[in-house]
Amino acid sequence: MNGTAAGQRNVSGASASPRYPFGAVGVGERAYRAGMTTHFAAVGLVAQDMAETLEFYRLLGVDVPASADGEAHVDALLPGGVRLMWDTEQAVRSLDPDWSPPTGGRRVALAFDCGAPADVDSTYRMLTAAGHRGSSEPWDAFWGQRYATVLDPDGNPVDLFAALDG
């Protein structure tokens, strides 16, 4: 693990670099070195309770070691190559003393492809049975997907979806 500013650590094992202080993004690092254009690489969320937040995302299959629960910064490389990153409120305030949690409506939503319509339903049931708040029960969306929404421990909507058959 690489130590970084404000006691933050990269738990993914990737090497730190000036462009990616919490760990290189593999192909992205090589692309920047070759002078290629910017690409989307990560989504960052602020966690009020890191352990509770990480447990929620583990239920969705995100590979984060339990040893990360007490860290100020955690990132996980997802199968599609994008990083999902979390910082504690304290870590964010150490970088921006004027930061305060957003209020009002949703500002971000994440979406997880469950693979099949029945898996949207079973994933929704699993998360709500684990005590997470359902926002929209599974339904068939007019755009051709089975869809549901659960709130993560910090109130961020997490959409669950799968293509409808036929």
pLDDT at 32: 53
Cα–Cα–Cα angle for 73, 79, 85, nearest 5°?
15
> Measured between alpha carbons, how far is 166 from 144 in angstroms, rounded to an integer?
9
**Whole-model pTM?**
0.73
> Measured between alpha carbons, how far is 67 from 113 in angstroms, rounded to an integer?
27
pLDDT at 132: 97
Query: Into which CATH architecture does domain 2-95 fall?
Result: Roll (3.10)
pLDDT at 23: 44
pLDDT at 37: 67
Each residue's pLDDT expressed in tens, for the chain with a length of 166 residues: 333 344 444 454 444 444 444 444 444 555 555 665 677 899 999 999 999 999 999 999 999 999 999 999 999 999 989 999 999 999 999 999 999 988 887 778 899 999 999 999 999 999 999 999 999 999 999 999 999 999 999 999 999 999 998 5
Query: Do the bridges between strand 42-47 and strand 110-113 make them parallel or antiparallel, or are there none, so unpaired?
Result: unpaired
Q: Please list the residue range(s) of the chain that carry CATH number 3.10.180.10.
A: 2-95, 110-163
Is the domain spanning 110-163 CATH 3.10.180.10? The answer is yes
> Measured between alpha carbons, how far is 65 from 20 in angstroms, rounded to an integer?
21
pLDDT at 14: 45
